Amino acid sequence: MSFRYLKSVNKIVCIGRNYAAHIKELNNAVPKHPFFFEKPTTSLITPLSSGNKHIGQGEATFSKLKEDGTNPSPIYIPKNVNVHHEIELGLVMKNTISNISVDNFGLQDMLDNVAGFCLALDLTGRNVQSDAKKKGLPWFFAKGYDTFCPVSQMLTPEQIPGFRNTPLDQIHSKFQLKCYVNDELRQDGHLDLMLNPMHKIVGHIAEAVTLEAGDLVLTGTPAGVGQLQTGDVIRGQLFFGENLLVDMSFDCQDRPGNYEYKSS
**Residue 62 pLDDT class (50, 70, 90 cuts):** confident
Answer yes or no: is 260 within a domain. Answer: no
User: By residue range, what is the domain housing residue 171?
Assistant: 4-254
Distance CA 149, CA 122 (A): 5
Answer yes or no: is 124 within a domain. Answer: yes
Answer yes or no: is 193 within a domain. Answer: yes
* Mean pLDDT of the residues in the chain: 91
Distance CA 130, CA 126 (A): 6
Answer yes or no: is 239 within a domain. Answer: yes
Mean pLDDT for the stretch of residues 250-261: 95
Phi (first) and psi of residue 80, to 5 degrees: 70, 20
Answer yes or no: is 259 within a domain. Answer: no
Q: Provide the domain count of the chain.
A: 1
Answer yes or no: is 69 within a domain. Answer: yes
Mean pLDDT for the stretch of residues 1-22: 86
pLDDT above 90 covers what percent of the chain? Answer: 80
* Cβ neighbours around 33 below 10 Å, total: 6
Answer yes or no: is 261 within a domain. Answer: no
Q: Is 231 exposed, middle or buried (0-12, 13-18, 19+ CB in 10 A)?
A: exposed
Q: pLDDT at residue 47 above 60?
A: yes
Region of poorest pLDDT, from 58-67, 148-157, 169-178, 251-260 = 58-67
Q: List strands edge to edge, sheet with 233-240.
A: 75-77, 243-254, 233-240, 175-181, 184-190
Residues in the chain, total: 264
Distance CA 156, CA 168 (A): 16
Give the CATH number, domain containing residue 199: 3.90.850.10
Q: Using one digit for the tens of pLDDT, what is the confidence trace for 108-156?
A: 999 999 999 999 999 999 999 999 989 999 989 999 999 999 999 999 9
Element (H, E) at 203: helix 198-208
Mean pLDDT for the stretch of residues 63-90: 95
Mean pLDDT for the stretch of residues 7-34: 75
pLDDT (0 to 100) of residue 1:
79
Distance CA 89, CA 219 (A): 6
Answer yes or no: is 264 within a domain. Answer: no
**Residue 61 pLDDT class (50, 70, 90 cuts):** confident
Nearest CA among 253, 262, 263 for reference residue 61:
253
**Residue 194 pLDDT class (50, 70, 90 cuts):** confident
Bridge partners of residue 233, in order along the sequence: 251
